[in-house]
């Protein structure tokens, strides 16, 4: 591909696979200036500015991709645009400082709705002590698109990276998993992917307590089925792996220990698949996933800052592509790859 010449979109087949594109980007991290302390590949990047570490993340929400404007109140759109980023701040154990937003509004969106949308984003951000301090607005002939960037500080706690899982670690998650698109009655009209609470307080407690501090952490945006392979891949860096080999660590996942959400049960009733498949594959959980040394597993708290913490599996040595195996309730073990979640984005 020669990027100096116009090529037209029709020339770009096959389509972009997100994971492949990210791996392409991460493979070029070598040679970054020393002020880059966390390079591309984590939930936030970090740079040193004037001797202080500043973390940054950016996320988009688009009508028709991350929400449906026809059926979603503007207040919930505004909330998700901000809280998706705050979930990444939580994944580092960091503290949000400020945000900027770029919005592309569909022509004809209307002044009243635009004002209400930005008022709501400002209010949500302020409620997390993360003021909106600037941005940019355009009009276009496409659906609503909001891009939010959040800056964060370490505030005396070293960020917890994705890298660092060790063979023998136990894997933990906060909250419950699956069914994030389902509308629940209690609280009224609760839809997890719009209304979730970013786990900032739990993460801060974990990262800042020497007895609790995880080896590694990320937030579950695409579901365990896709995010656990990322944890494994990050653990295997920086040592180069022979071509065609998978990560050097894998996961044994204990299916009967998964904390199943009410939404996952509801989705299971609807489509007849078992709830655990929803817990692995639905995505948009925005819960923390982290690993802890096995020595502290027995006395690790089951509730932190009022949020349940569940141990769902173990990091194991892996020597091929089948990085994730499922230990089923009947004791049998099977590769997760058969369900099609591994290595697909």
Residues that bind Mg ion (CB under 5 A): 43, 88, 219
Least separation in angstroms between residue 104's CB and Mg ion is 23
Distance between CA atoms of residues 34 and 37, nearest Å: 7
CB neighbour burial string for 164-173, b if at least 16 within 10 angstroms, e if fewer: bbeeebbbbb
Q: Is residue 249 within 8 Å of residue 163, measured between CB atoms?
A: no
The number of helix segments (H) and strand segments (E) in the chain equals 8, 16
CB-based closest residue to Mg ion:
43
* DSSP conformation class of 343: T
Least separation in angstroms between residue 226's CB and Mg ion is 11
* DSSP conformation class of 214: -
CB neighbour burial string for 104-113, b if at least 16 within 10 angstroms, e if fewer: bbeeeeeeee
Burial classification of residue 100, based on how many CB atoms lie within 10 Å of its CB (0-12 exposed, 13-18 middle, 19 or more buried)? middle
**Secondary structure (DSSP) of 136-158:** EEEEESS--EEEEEEEEE-TTSP
Least separation in angstroms between residue 160's CB and Mg ion is 12
Q: Which is nearer to Mg ion, 219 or 342 (CB)?
A: 219
Q: Which is nearer to Mg ion, 117 or 150 (CB)?
A: 150
Distance between CA atoms of residues 158 and 156, nearest Å: 7
Residues β-bridged to residue 22: none
Place of tokens 């592509």: 321
Least separation in angstroms between residue 302's CB and Mg ion is 24
Least separation in angstroms between residue 22's CB and Mg ion is 12
Least separation in angstroms between residue 162's CB and Mg ion is 9
């Amino acid at each position: 591909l020669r990027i100096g010449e116009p090529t037209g979109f029709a020339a770009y087949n096959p389509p972009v696979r997100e994971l492949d594109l990210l791996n392409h980007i991460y493979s070029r991290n070598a040679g970054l200036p020393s002020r880059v302390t966390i390079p591309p590949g984590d939930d936030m990047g970090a740079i040193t500015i004037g001797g202080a570490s500043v973390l940054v993340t950016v996320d988009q929400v688009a009508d028709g991709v991350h929400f449906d404007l026809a059926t979603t109140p503007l207040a919930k759109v505004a909330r998700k645009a901000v809280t998706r980023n705050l979930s990444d701040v939580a994944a580092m154990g960091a503290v949000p400082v400020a945000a900027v937003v770029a919005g592309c509004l569909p022509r004809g969106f209307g002044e009243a709705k635009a004002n209400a949308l930005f008022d709501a984003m400002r209010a949500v951000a302020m409620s997390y002590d993360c003021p909106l301090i600037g941005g940019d607005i355009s009009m276009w002939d496409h659906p609503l698109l909001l891009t939010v960037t959040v800056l964060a500080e370490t505030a005396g706690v070293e960020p917890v990276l994705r890298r660092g899982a060790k063979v023998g670690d136990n894997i933990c998650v906060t909250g419950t998993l699956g069914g994030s698109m389902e509308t629940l009655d209690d609280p009224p009209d609760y839809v997890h992917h719009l209304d979730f609470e970013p786990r900032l307080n739990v993460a801060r407690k974990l990262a800042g307590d020497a007895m609790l501090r995880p080896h590694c952490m990320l937030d579950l945006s695409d579901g365990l089925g896709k995010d656990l392979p990322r944890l494994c891949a990050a653990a295997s860096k920086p040592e180069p792996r022979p071509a065609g080999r998978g990560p050097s660590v894998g996961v044994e996942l204990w299916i009967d220990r998964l904390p199943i959400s009410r939404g996952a049960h509801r989705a299971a009733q609807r489509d007849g698949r078992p709830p655990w498949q929803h817990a692995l594959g639905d995505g948009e959980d925005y819960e923390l996933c982290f690993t802890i040394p096995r020595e502290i597993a027995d006395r690790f708290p089951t509730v932190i800052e009022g949020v349940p913490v569940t141990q769902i599996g173990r990091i194991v040595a892996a020597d091929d592509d089948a990085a994730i195996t499922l230990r089923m309730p009947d004791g049998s073990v099977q590769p997760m790859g058969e369900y099609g979640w591994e290595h697909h984005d």
